Amino acid sequence: MTTHHPMLTITDEVRDALHDGRPVVALESTIISHGMPYPQNVEMATEVEKIVRDNGAVPATIAVLHGRPRIGLEADDLELLATSPDVAKVSVRDLGHVVARGAHGATTVASTMRLAALAGIPVFVTGGIGGAHRGAPASFDTSADLTELATSPVAVVSAGVKSILDIALTLETLETLGVPVIAYGTDEFPSFYSRTSGHTSPLRSDSPEEIAAVMRAHWELGATGGLNIANPIPESDEIPAERIEGIIQQALASMDKVGIGGKEATPYLLGKIVELTGGESLRANIALVNNNARLGARIAVAFTQK
């Protein structure tokens, strides 16, 4: 291991790829520690890294371990994240606190974006981004993922906004923040488990090369924030929107009953949906992350071929 930015610990493989201008894809760690049960979380993380490599890029899974932001993880690190009860869910507001205390933290979309930008990694793959929660006009419960997309120059490849959220309000917020929302190969904005959401995507691109060209133009025109690349789940793996909606309503009712909110809301809802679908949503989640890894690596490759 060696350091690059003074606060980051970067693996030699990732550092060398960045130094040589080769494609690198950032990956988050909250999905490992708080998004999936063990051992599927480790299997998923290992498989995603392999997919990124198979498509020509170097994977850089990001987390905070022993108070040190890490860009790239070893197998033992993944195992720790997946099994330790001492791993906090860390968004941007929490980063300084976790680092100062020398603690472990799994990074959300927002904090992974921030650390990827510090490391100079312009492409980041995740499952689904956060957004405005249902009822946000009253609760003000809106993910820091959205404001970070307006702040950090990273293209985030996801399967759309998590369908447990208010998609219309999330899209409106992204427009206000000046974040390009680009659906890949479709006119409709996808909704995580489903290829459809009932909402038209503001923008569309049909190739990784075109997305890379948009990224370059966006930043060359002085934009300082990121881009939201929405990649629909493969048709064979999706849970149709009309079916998942009823399950989401059951999960929301259960969450209200037990009084969970804030940063615990999304992990609780995703876990409840896995339970209510008999594991089908977990299989869909793994499939969409793998699909995003393929596209993200191809975009990273195209972006380095200037």
Q: Which residues are catalytic?
A: 28, 162
What is the helix, strand, coil percentage profile of the chain, to 5?
Answer: 50, 20, 30
CA triplet 232, 234, 236: central angle to 5 degrees? 145
User: 196: how many CB neighbours lie within 10 A of its CB?
Assistant: 16
User: Where do we find the tokens 């923040």?
Assistant: 177
Handedness of CA 57, 30, 247, 44 (dihedral sign): positive
Backbone dihedral angles phi then psi of residue 135, each to the nearest 5 degrees = 90, 5
Beta partners for 58?
A: 24
Q: How far apart are CA 260 and CA 250, in angstroms?
A: 14
CB-based contact 119:5 (threshold 8 Å): yes
Query: Which DSSP string corresponds to 203-250?
Result: EEE-SHHHHHHHHHHHHHTT--S-EEEE-PPPGGG---HHHHHHHHHH
Q: Which residues of 47-86 are buried (b: 16+ CB within 10 A; e: fewer)?
A: ebbebbeebebbbbbbbbbeebbbbbbeeebbbbbbeeee
